[in-house]
Chain A
Amino acid sequence: MKARVHVMLKDGVLDPQGEAVRHALGALGFDGVEGVRQGKVIDLDLAPGTTEAQVTEMCEKLLANTVIESYRIDMG
């Protein structure tokens, strides 16, 4: 079984990399991009029976830093 974890900087935390991407898109002529936020996707291959609660614990302990990041789990 698989799980996909999306990690994003929380709203209100400046994302300078996202800002740089937004500027680059503008320079390429893509008008109307009002904001870019860059995050991470982490795919987990899990032994059968692994619970979402266990993946949540993984996020809390390591995969995300909840001081600055939020996460979302999709169980495959």
Chain B
Amino acid sequence: MKAAVLVFPGSNCDRDMAVAFERAGFAVSMVWHKDHALPAGVDIIGVPGGFSYGDYLRCGAIAANSPICRELKHHAEAGGHVIGVCNGFQVLTETGLLPGALLRNAGLKYICRTVPLVVGTADSVFTRGYDKGQEIRIPIAHHDGNYFADEATLDRLEAEDRVAFRYGDNPNGSARDIAGILSDNRRVLGLMPHPERAAEPAHGNTDGKPVFDALAAALERVIA
């Protein structure tokens, strides 16, 4: 199983994500934003958190137009798996791979703390290690995590069971408490909370580990 983690100038959760993938059994390649190709046979791409390109223009906007993101789009459009965390979620909305946008937090403050989440669906390779409705605790660390989409898009996300995670106690003003969503083929996940920061005992919290373990189990089966 191969994972690729994209690295932009300003990414700062790339190594955390790589370690989470490695602990789950993936061979991980770090891929620089100027690269024009992904390593052969990549099963999943991780788009990490951070402040790509200094959040210039809009969070994720410049990264979404970088050379490697053209390859990211091809990978996703061909049915490949992608997980985008925090700034990675912002990049995925800017590429159009996920609907909506992330606005400035309603309270205007950068928020860095562990928050309760409710699992919205167990029907994805990312979330099948949880039960629907299960409450978990995952760290958030963002200034622009206020999920916005028009009412029709929000209705469609709910009708198609594509809300992966909701905030238990909405910290940032996100529409319908949405913390993470799936693409229409359920193979692209974007979420503001950081499961890779709660993935081993040394973190003091392993509530995010099932995301990586479930991915490993699912993708291993595909290859075997």
Contact = CB atoms under 8 A, between A and B. Distances in A.
Contact of A16 (B94, B100, B104): B104
A67 B103 contact: no
Interface in B104-158: 104-108, 146, 148-149
Contacts of A63: 57
Contacts of A17: 104, 108
A41 interface: no
B65 interface: yes
B94 A65 contact: yes
Interface residues of A, number: 11
B61 A67 contact: no
Sort chain B's interface into a size bin: 10 to 19
Nearest to B62: A62
B65 A61 contact: yes
Contacts of B146: 14, 16
Nearest to B100: A67
Interface string B51-72: 0000001100100010000000
Contacts of B65: 61-62
B106 A68 contact: no
* Residue from B57, B100, B107, B149 having most chain A Cβ neighbours under 10 A: B57
A17 B93 CA distance: 21
B145 to A, nearest CB: 12
B106 A16 contact: yes
B101 interface: yes
B106 A65 contact: no
B152 to A, nearest CB: 12
A16 B105 contact: yes
B101 A62 contact: no
B173 interface: yes
Given A13-B103, A14-B173, A62 B148 contact: no
Contacts of A44: none
Interface in B148-181: 148-149, 173
The 5 closest A-B pairs by CB, nearest first: A67-B101, A68-B101, A16-B108, A16-B106, A16-B104
Contacts of A67: 93, 99-101, 148-149
Contacts of B173: 14, 16
